Amino acid sequence: MLRGSAGAYWALTGLWVLLRAGTLAVGLLFQRLFDEIGAGGGVWLLIAWVAAIEVARLCLQFGVMINRLEPRVQYGTTARLRRDLLGTALRGRGAMSRTTPGEALRVAGEDVEETGFFVAWAPTNLAHWLFVVASVTVMVRIDAVVTIALLALLVLITVVTAAVHGRFLRLRNATRTASAEVAGALREAFGAVKAVQAAAAEDHVAAHVVELNAARARLAVREELFAGVQRTVIGNATPLGIGVVLLLTAGQAHSGAFSVGDLALFAFYLQILAEALASIGILSVRLQRVSVALGRITAFLGRRPLTPSVEPAPEAGPAPTPSPDPGPALREMTVHGLTARHPGSERGIEDVSLTVVRRSVTVVTGGVGSGKSTLLRAVLGLLPHERGTIVWNGEPVADPAAFLVPPRCGYTPQEPRLFSGSLRENVLLGLGEEDGDGEGGPRIFEAASRTAVLAPDVAVMKDGADTVVGPRGLRLSGGQLQRTAIARMLARRPELLVFDDVSSALDPATEQVLWDRLLDGTVTVLAVSHRPTLLRAADRVVVLKDGRVDAVGTLPEVLDASAEMRRIWADQDPEPRPGPSDGALP
């Protein structure tokens, strides 16, 4: 957590220790000051030392530590944790994640904030307790009996405060629950005014609300009572301690064994000791909260160190285009004996093999739950493999999730997502406006949107490509959403196009135009679909049933070999099944 700001953290810790050492020195100076006053000696030099230490403390605390070091430690920690969390979400295998969006937001929000605050607060607490040890040592050397009596008093006050605080927390929770019940009753009453009037139940509803409010008031009064008791006990700790010191040192004061300076030192240290013991409850709560927060953060991160921690921080300016070296052009991708299952279940694929040849169309089809989407996700590394290999141009792929990315491979999922932003931004996602040829070719967005049959929709939008879409913008139809995702994929010009049933929300005419433009003989396609248009255009059809390959071949071949394929074809296409002459399109 401290990488990148370890220097600031240790500087902050050192300065807090220095400040507490200054506080310790001020107590000793007060002791000397009051003794000199009693002896009639000069005190101006001592006063100057006290003033100098206090001025230096204020300058360091408010000019350097609170204004600079603490924000750097706290917000640097939260920024790095959120970067790691985002890196895990973006780089991790999607199927491995069991975190809901709400839980993810809570981890990235509340848990990260709690952790960042604790990291910045820890040096303060450490220095505080070092001061406690040092001050108790000084007090014991002056009078051990008085010191032990004071510590016993403070421990007793701490125990009483903890007991009162526990009761206060229970009453506070009960008050919140009662307040929620009152608010809920009022909301229901205001939302059903007509029904209440129709049933002539106004008096009954009003009495119910009054009863709930009276219960809330009783709890609120008791809560405030215990809060007042707690404040009183803590506020009287120092006066009680000074009283104990006076009682125990009355005889010694006459003999000079316990001077006025000693009393001033005890009174000065006593207030800080009381604050330290009172903070034990806060420390306990903070430790519990941060342990829970770190547990959730660790579970989200998967207990693995992340590479973003050693990468340079992103600089301001246009986002760089992620373009790994594509290497030699795709000739053939082969999947051998691939087995993958969803975490925590037996559902998945078993011993699946297939081959995708350059500029060919391979379609995976099957019934509901046959493993079609699972196969694509496993091939792309979005689902962990139990066994099997993926070979690209004769070379095994060690990490498909890192290798099968643009410009080698592009993927459009079955349910794509959009960000809140313009349509252009959602398609480009950081890419430059101009084509990569550098010769003034067609813009990436226009070319991709035309191929994805998105241009007619853009033309009728109020702001065109700058129309805001996503959760806080224009709500797109299912077909528009799918075609936007296809345009996003095409903008990166991948060699292998992977589609997961992307035409399910398209009308037949738009679907035909889409596939006519995509399947122009220059691209390689691996798609999940049961649509007749794509099945007829396929060079190879892979039929899955219960997670296993049921048949492989051209459309006529799999229709002859697979009863499952014949059932799918009969459900999708009322036309007669194709004969041997109706095979794949050239």
Render pLDDT for 26-43 as a digit per residue (tens, 0 to 9): 888 888 888 787 666 667
User: Do 178 and 212 touch, CB atoms closer than 8 A?
Assistant: yes
Q: What is the pLDDT of residues 129-144, one digit of tens each?
A: 888 889 889 988 888 8
Structure tokens at 513: 């135009």
Written as one letter, the residue type at 556 is P
Place of tokens 């706290």: 74
CA torsion, points 134, 137, 138, 139, in degrees to nearest 10?
Answer: 120
d(CA 370, CA 386): 18
Nearest CA to 267 out of 18, 38, 57, 31 is that of: 31
Residue 148: count other Cβ atoms within 10 Å of its Cβ.
Answer: 13
Percent of the chain with pLDDT over 90: 28
Residues in the chain: 586
Backbone angles phi, psi at 33, to 5 degrees: -60, -50
- Cross-strand bridge partners of residue 447: none
Nearest CA to 408 out of 331, 337, 338 is that of: 331
User: Do 209 and 182 touch, CB atoms closer than 8 A?
Assistant: yes
Q: ∠ at Cα 384 (379, 388), nearest 5°?
A: 60
Q: What is the pLDDT along the chain (586 residues), one digit of tens a residue?
A: 666 678 888 888 899 899 888 888 888 888 888 878 766 666 788 888 888 888 988 888 888 888 888 888 889 889 999 888 888 777 665 545 556 666 778 888 888 998 888 888 888 888 888 888 898 899 888 888 888 988 888 888 878 877 887 788 788 888 888 888 888 888 888 888 888 888 888 889 899 889 999 999 999 999 889 888 877 877 777 788 888 887 787 777 666 677 888 888 888 888 888 777 767 767 777 787 788 888 888 888 764 444 444 444 555 555 555 555 666 789 999 999 999 998 778 889 999 999 999 999 999 999 988 999 999 999 999 888 889 999 999 999 999 988 999 989 999 998 898 989 999 999 998 886 554 444 333 588 899 999 999 999 999 998 999 999 988 889 898 889 999 999 999 998 999 999 999 887 788 888 889 999 988 878 899 999 998 889 999 999 999 999 999 999 999 999 999 999 999 999 876 555 555 434 333 3
Q: Which residues contact 533 (CB under 8 A, 6 or more apart)?
A: 503, 508, 511, 512, 515
Q: Give how far Cα 441 sits from Cα of 447, 494, 517, Å.
A: 10, 18, 19
Residue 541 DSSP code: E
d(CA 557, CA 559): 5
d(CA 105, CA 86): 11
d(CA 581, CA 586): 12
